[in-house]
Structure 1
Amino acid sequence: MKFAVINGETILLHADTYERIPAWRLLAAQGKIRCPGCGDALTLIAGISADPYFLHTTVTHCPLQGAEQPSETAEAVHTVSSLPSEEAAAAVELGSFRLPQRRPISQTMAESAMPRPGYRERLNPKRMIPAWTGRNDDCLHPEQQRAVHTTEGPLLILAGAGSGKTRVMTARCAHLIGEQGVDPRTIMVVTFTTKAAEELKQRLSAQLSRQQAQALVSGTFHSIFYRILTHHQPQRWAPHRLLKQNWQKRRLLLETGALHQAQQPDMKEAELEEVLAIISRWKNEYLLPADLSSLPFASDEEERARLLYPHYEEAKRHHGWFDFDDMLCGCYELLLREEEVRRRYQERIRYVMIDEFQDINRVQYETIKLLAAPQNNLCVVGDDDQSIYGFRGSSPAYILGFTKDYPDAKTITLEVNFRSRSTIVGLGYSLIGNNRARWKKELKSFHTDEGESFLFYPADEEEQASRMVDEILHQRASGASLSQFAVLFRTSESARPILERMMEADIPFRFIHEDEPFYEKQAVRWALGYLRLALNPDDAGAMREIMPTLYLAHEQWNALRSQSILDDKPLLAVLPRLPGLKGYQRQHLQKVGEILAAVPSCSPAQALELIYEDGRLRDYVKKRSREGAGQTRTRTSDDLQQLLAAAKRHATIPGFLAHVAAMTDKEKARRTSAPALGESVQVMSIHRAKGLEFDTVFLPDLVEGALPHEFALEELRSGSAKALEEERRLMYVAITRARRQLFIGIPRERFGRTTRISRFIGEMGR
């Protein structure tokens, strides 16, 4: 249904009113949008693949209920004409504070750096991909069969996205064992994940006996190398000596005095995490402490890592601990130094197959070369276009240089994409062709139908999330399974509004991440503490929360509480009268009290702006974040902007705080229960999505600084395109997860700042 009533006034959904959708969406959530026929409440569904429409929230006998079918995609792509802005309401003054201008709820966001586009638009690839015409009744096409039957000597299989590489690897193992009579115990298959190894064995069990499949030497690099280590040196590599978590490493460094020895006793947790990640990358490249003296360092964090690295290694060695990286280095050193051990494994392992070879690092590669020698029946399977783990030390240089290391290697390219529809294959191919460091491939699509790919341009990250959730609701109503939807993000900052909209809509989802929940982040807790104290000046928990931002030590809490009791006044009222304060401190605390007295009459967004600016919370957070490491500096400031974006959806501070409490409770319940499986939307980083596939994929925040990430753009400005090429590969991986539909969000504002459309859009489509 395209029309509804608000306070007796009829509203109509059409191209000239689409910019009012965010405002109408909020009014619908408050039950203020009604059906003109029966008067019942309507909800607004404004997704992506179809025109927006109003929908009855309950089944009624309203004659208009049958008019709720939306226009479908082919006829529904409009261009929105610019609307005259409504006049902003006059600025509101409270005491000595001038509040931000109160805007009508339907007013659009600030002008973006992008042109004003339509409600959505199709994205067609710059280069169309031909459909594969070589169909036959065989399970494998000719190039796949050639890969299966090429068993002797080094072999490079370039397996493009969706090209059936798991099928080829399974068939190759079955051919070696079933037709060539090779003992499965002499075949080693290394996969990127334990799940992939199990899947290969399950598929193999359908073609051979279960005993033969289980006899295969298979697993991840870590699992196989660790088995070798524990067989030969069980005491040195006992499982209880493994440092699994960063907090264990930090405790070791503190207890052994290693941080003091490295002249960094006050290193914060965020700094230590980044330093440990750098050390891990160096170890994966097999760069030992002695190798670092001649290396230039790109950042302060790398310099800290150089100082800490030898002391960390000595602390582990002296106390008998090891970490995951030591498993790789330890196995390499064992085989390199112990000739008899190396000879035994070389005699036993006759065939080696490596999956996801584009993600290999130096220490893994050097170890595999030792194991595969001297026969060199080494088959590596991968796609240089999907090398996305540079932060772990992996590099596409190994797959690109494989034929140089093995000049007699054969190369087979699997170019038929069986997964994605032709438009999606074309978008990925058009994009990745802009990378210079890659093997050239001529991709083809198995499917003749095109599939769907849309760009959509929401006002901000909040509306972007609402559009995605509405699209899921629209498709679920048409019978789609939730498990076939995935939301893939570059960084976790993109996930918060999407998760909130899904929780509000009671859509089951599965979300795996390492970050702490948004509303538990320190900067967010400070801002919320100010809001709670504004509503209740005697809120002890809120006062204790914000004391550091007022440069008050927690030791002053007792004095503040005592003063409040003596004067019989709220904590906030006696704050400026604390003993021992300097004049400028007393003035600032007095001002904070006046700000918080004005806050209850503000909207949540106006209140936060006052607290950030006049209350100087933003300055405090920036000062604290400058002491952090790397990306932490930016994230902390962005947390405040995200909170402000969330607040704009609420009319009152109590309502906003109630929303925060509800989201926090739901998040805690979700974390304490088993992860949702089966009928649930998958929400994950692009890195985690590698190897997976879904009918419909949403990619939020396709803007400069998000994807490609800002650090890649900084490197590009410094003259290096290496990081940008990895970002492009990451985008390619994201695109090729989609089988049928790809929806790309380009918010006009993100974290309160106007955006520029990602360069990747222009590279891949038109």
Structure 2
Amino acid sequence: MTETAAAGQTAAPAAPAGERPAPPRDADAVLEALDPEQREVATSLAGPVRVLAGAGTGKTRALTHRIAHGALAGAWQPTQVLAVTFTARAAAEMRTRLRDLGVPGVQARTFHAAALRQLQYFWPQAVGGALPPLVEHKAQLVAQAASRLRLRVDRAAVRDLSAEVEWAKVGMLTPDAYPEAARRAGRAAPAGLDHLAAARVLRGYEEVKTDRGVIDFEDVLLLTVGVLEEREDVARTVRSQYRHLVVDEYQDVSGLQQRLLELWLGDRDDVCVVGDASQTIYSFAGADPKHLLDFDRRHPGTRTVRLVRDYRSTPQVVGLANGLLDRAPRAATRARVELVAQRPAGPAPEFWENADDEAEAARVAAWVQARLAEGHPAREIAVLFRTNSQSEPLEQALSARGVGYLLRGGERFFARKEVRDAVLLLRGAARSDDGSSPLGSLVRDVLSGAGWSEQPPTASGAVRERWESLQALVALADDVAAARPEDRLPQLVGELDERAASQHAPAVEGVTLASLHAAKGLEWDAVLLVGLSEGLMPISFAADDAAAVEEERRLLYVGVTRARERLVCSWTLSRTPGGRASRKPSRFLDGLRPSSAADAAPVGGARGERGGRRRKGPSLARCRTCGEPLTTAAARKTGRCEDCPATYDEGVFEALREWRSRTAAEAKVPAYVVFTDATLVAVAEATPSDAAGLAAIAGIGPAKLDRYGVDVLAVLSGSSSAG
């Protein structure tokens, strides 16, 4: 086998004739489409180069044109260039661009892919025999390791332990060194274990792998490092093959990847790294921006180029992104890139303050539907959130309006295993529900067997997400009990079935729903950032750690910079309708959002009056019949105590129910999606005569007012005439 094959070299096929524009044929032509800073990157072909590239500044263009310029100028051989990045998608995009520039043959791969090709070739001569099989998923091995230690772990705990195995290995930590390193890093012990118990699982995992004769993805890097360290002849072969190294997304490099890069490089300095410390959001997986920040110290004579011209976003979006970082501590913004917008002006970012999560989701769905009606493609709209558990009300609201969506980086709420298992438990318990326990208490008792607890787990990750999924079911039970006190478990299970059935969206073009982490590297015309309340942004378990808080700020910065033209920042005052308004907007929005709730356009009963004066707190609602304070959500919605007699006309109420049934059937959604029973009762009792009166009823926000207001007022008018 040749050295080219040994290092994983494959020739890229030529582009079919006529399908692509003719590539430039000389080095100068490659530079014509670049701005001054990008051109500086492309022409800096020798020595160590560090590119500090802000979001949307064309770093991939600068990198690929640098490689093409070096090759077309005769300074480099394409087959002697290794460009490494972090996702297969990014590597494929780089290869495509290089081919379009007339430079096939460059190796653009992920760290793992490049290391694996090398390891597969050199293993027989360095170790002997064939490379052990690679396992793509750790779960089964981690579960077996825990079982050997007689630890009872469920699926979520196994996922969290697997993540901890990866963190330890990319940090090149032995099981013995792990506990102290994890404590130093402020990592909570996974799956409810202490660090010593987690270390035993890590050791057991390695033993299981050895027994099975397999390796994992982290072993690919570790073993490649080992071979290059121990076999100088192998290291020389690799270095002679790859004379020029390029590393994209360098802020995400782990200690292990950095060590591999150093071994690829040897005593040479022909390396170019590109990154943005302000987009470091994977510290939990071992990423460390110090490699980018300290690059010039490790490589004297480094040439640093800053890409600051943002071609992605409007000046309004860029201004908000810069403002977000302006408010970070100075130490947290070292080597920061301040963006300079290049696009024409666009709409100002919107700031929404909502009464609760349901109102927020309804407003999001109405806004999205309005954009689609204007002709905006669904694929160019994204709704981003901090945790996957926040997707459920958004899925429901979009489905209610018939808006298709794609859930990226997570499962649909009702498709999640913990949710499916919980519904099965509730379905079984419904058969024996004798009505002796309150619905909320009964659901809590049932779901305790599925892992729900009164207090959320201190650990983050899959365990926390599973708890949040179960907590969403508990909260739904409370809402049902408040709105319909007569309902029991069979009715709750029926509602869950209806909700699951109404959330089947077409798996083709759709609005993107994604976590902020899953959105990294992507962009859309319009982005809605939801749930920007304290406790979610920054996330609660990061609130007491200054470094973790700043990573949360960077995560929000990534979210903001995904938007090209339209940006919405939204938060809620309460989790549930009628709940106590105890939430506050994210601290990261201080100084960026409008100073009054009126300017923020409150919706669904949010704080703030139309005249602009800000209330210190919500007013106390009282029963229209007896004057006593209303203490439940259902009572506040109807405007009277549950014990006080209903005041609506039966004929009016029946007319409204018939209208709701017809409307729900036409839209192919459950009746509750149109209006809940409690809202229908409130409408029948208030009998408003105009849109303002209808909007004053809890549960009827702008979205439902726009969609159903005229019809409801017509029903009320017709019933009045008939009477």
Deviation of 1:648 (Å): 8.4
SS in 1 for 2:269: coil
Give 1:303-322 correspondences, 5 Å limit: 303-322=196-215
Deviation of 1:329 (Å): 1.2
Provide the residue aligned with 1:495 in structure 2: 391
Q: Provide the C-alpha distance between the structure 2 equivalents of 1:492 and 1:236, rounded to a whole number of angstroms.
A: 45
Give 1:183-582 correspondences, 5 Å limit: 183-208=77-102, 212-213=103-104, 215-233=105-123, 241-250=133-142, 252-253=144-145, 259-260=147-148, 263-292=149-178, 295=181, 297=183, 299-301=188-190, 302-433=195-326, 434-435=328-329, 436-437=331-332, 438-515=334-411, 517-518=413-414, 522=418, 526=422, 542-543=428-429, 572=432
SS in 2 for 1:429: helix
Q: Does 1:758 align with 2:622?
A: no
Query: Which of 317-326 and 507-516 deviates more?
Result: 507-516
SS in 1 for 2:198: helix
Q: Provide the C-alpha distance between the structure 2 equivalents of 1:288 and 1:639, rounded to a whole number of angstroms.
A: 38
Q: 1:736 aligns with which of 552, 555, 561?
A: 561
Provide the residue aligned with 1:609 in structure 2: 440
Deviation of 1:735 (Å): 0.1
Alignment deviations for residues 368-398 of structure 1 (CA, whole Å, 9 cap, x no partner)? 1111223221100110100111111001111
Deviation of 1:742 (Å): 0.7
Deviation of 1:616 (Å): 8.5
Contact 1:155 1:410 in 2 (8 A): yes
Q: Provide the C-alpha distance between the structure 2 equivalents of 1:618 and 1:148, rounded to a whole number of angstroms.
A: 59
Consecutive aligned runs of 4 or more in structure 1 exceeding 6 Å deviation: 234-240, 615-620, 624-628, 648-652
One-letter amino acid of the structure 2 residue matched with residue 176 of structure 1: G
Query: Which of 302-311 and 462-471 deviates more?
Result: 302-311
Q: 1:704 aligns with which of 523, 527, 534?
A: 534
Count of residue pairs brought into register by the alignment = 543
Deviation of 1:691 (Å): 1.2
Deviation of 1:270 (Å): 2.7
Provide structure 1 residue ranges, at least 5 long, that are not aligned to the other structure: 1-136, 531-540, 547-570, 573-591, 597-606, 716-720
One-letter amino acid of the structure 1 residue matched with residue 472 of structure 2: D
Alignment deviations for residues 421-473 of structure 1 (CA, whole Å, 9 cap, x no partner)? 11111111111231423213332110241432011122211111111111111
SS in 1 for 2:287: coil
Contact 2:447 2:470 in 1 (8 A): no
Deviation of 1:237 (Å): 9.8
Q: Provide the C-alpha distance between the structure 2 equivalents of 1:504 and 1:623, rounded to a whole number of angstroms.
A: 31
**Identity of aligned pairs, percent?**
29
Q: 1:660 aligns with which of 472, 477, 496?
A: 496
Contact 1:358 1:386 in 2 (8 A): yes
TM-score, length basis structure 1: 0.65
One-letter amino acid of the structure 2 residue matched with residue 141 of structure 1: D
SS in 1 for 2:349: strand
Provide the residue aligned with 2:71 in structure 1: 177
- CA RMSD of superposed structures (Å): 3.1
Alignment deviations for residues 157-178 of structure 1 (CA, whole Å, 9 cap, x no partner)? 0000100111111111110111
Q: 1:237 to 1:321 in 2, by over 3 A?
A: farther
Deviation of 1:513 (Å): 3.2
Provide the residue aligned with 1:726 in structure 2: 551
Alignment deviations for residues 94-145 of structure 1 (CA, whole Å, 9 cap, x no partner)? xxxxxxxxxxxxxxxxxxxxxxxxxxxxxxxxxxxxxxxxxxx952111111
SS in 1 for 2:434: helix
Q: Provide the C-alpha distance between the structure 2 equivalents of 1:353 and 1:519, rounded to a whole number of angstroms.
A: 41
Q: Provide the C-alpha distance between the structure 2 equivalents of 1:170 and 1:527, rounded to a whole number of angstroms.
A: 51
Contact 1:271 1:628 in 2 (8 A): no
SS in 1 for 2:517: helix
Alignment deviations for residues 280-318 of structure 1 (CA, whole Å, 9 cap, x no partner)? 101111112343475463544333221222221122123
Provide structure 2 residue ranges, at least 5 long, that are not aligned to the other structure: 1-30, 595-723
Q: 1:191 to 1:655 in 2, by over 3 A?
A: same
Q: 1:593 aligns with which of 431, 434, 458?
A: 434
SS in 2 for 1:341: helix
SS in 1 for 2:527: strand
Deviation of 1:183 (Å): 1.4
Q: 1:236 to 1:276 in 2, by over 3 A?
A: farther
Q: 1:294 to 1:207 in 2, by over 3 A?
A: closer
Contact 2:142 2:161 in 1 (8 A): no
SS in 2 for 1:452: coil
Contact 1:461 1:749 in 2 (8 A): yes
Deviation of 1:509 (Å): 1.5
Contact 2:52 2:306 in 1 (8 A): yes
Q: Provide the C-alpha distance between the structure 2 equivalents of 1:704 and 1:624, rounded to a whole number of angstroms.
A: 20
Contact 2:85 2:91 in 1 (8 A): yes
Q: Provide the C-alpha distance between the structure 2 equivalents of 1:629 and 1:332, rounded to a whole number of angstroms.
A: 32
Contact 2:53 2:307 in 1 (8 A): yes
Query: Which of 290-299 and 341-350 deviates more?
Result: 290-299
Contact 2:526 2:563 in 1 (8 A): yes
Q: 1:497 to 1:148 in 2, by over 3 A?
A: same
SS in 2 for 1:222: helix
Provide the residue aligned with 1:41 in structure 2: none
Contact 1:270 1:629 in 2 (8 A): no
Q: Provide the C-alpha distance between the structure 1 equivalents of 2:469 and 2:340, rounded to a whole number of angstroms.
A: 44
Provide the residue aligned with 2:511 in structure 1: 681
Deviation of 1:518 (Å): 3.7
SS in 2 for 1:244: coil
Q: Provide the C-alpha distance between the structure 1 equivalents of 2:584 and 2:289, rounded to a whole number of angstroms.
A: 29
One-letter amino acid of the structure 1 residue matched with residue 198 of structure 2: A
Deviation of 1:704 (Å): 0.7
Q: 1:140 aligns with which of 20, 23, 34?
A: 34
Provide the residue aligned with 2:468 in structure 1: 635
SS in 2 for 1:459: strand
TM-score, length basis structure 2: 0.69
Give 1:28-39 correspondences, 5 Å limit: none
Contact 1:427 1:765 in 2 (8 A): no
Q: 1:499 to 1:289 in 2, by over 3 A?
A: same
One-letter amino acid of the structure 2 residue matched with residue 746 of structure 1: W
Alignment deviations for residues 16-51 of structure 1 (CA, whole Å, 9 cap, x no partner)? xxxxxxxxxxxxxxxxxxxxxxxxxxxxxxxxxxxx
Contact 2:311 2:343 in 1 (8 A): yes
Q: 1:492 to 1:149 in 2, by over 3 A?
A: same
RCO (CA 8 Å, sep 6+): is it higher in 1 or 2? 1
Q: Provide the C-alpha distance between the structure 1 equivalents of 2:292 and 2:358, rounded to a whole number of angstroms.
A: 41
Query: Which of 263-272 and 172-181 deviates more?
Result: 263-272
Contact 2:239 2:264 in 1 (8 A): yes
Alignment deviations for residues 67-116 of structure 1 (CA, whole Å, 9 cap, x no partner)? xxxxxxxxxxxxxxxxxxxxxxxxxxxxxxxxxxxxxxxxxxxxxxxxxx
Q: Provide the C-alpha distance between the structure 2 equivalents of 1:248 and 1:620, rounded to a whole number of angstroms.
A: 21
Q: Provide the C-alpha distance between the structure 1 equivalents of 2:179 and 2:143, rounded to a whole number of angstroms.
A: 27
Q: Provide the C-alpha distance between the structure 2 equivalents of 1:513 and 1:642, rounded to a whole number of angstroms.
A: 24
Contact 1:155 1:409 in 2 (8 A): yes
Q: Provide the C-alpha distance between the structure 2 equivalents of 1:415 and 1:499, rounded to a whole number of angstroms.
A: 37
Query: Which of 267-276 and 467-476 deviates more?
Result: 267-276
Deviation of 1:265 (Å): 3.2
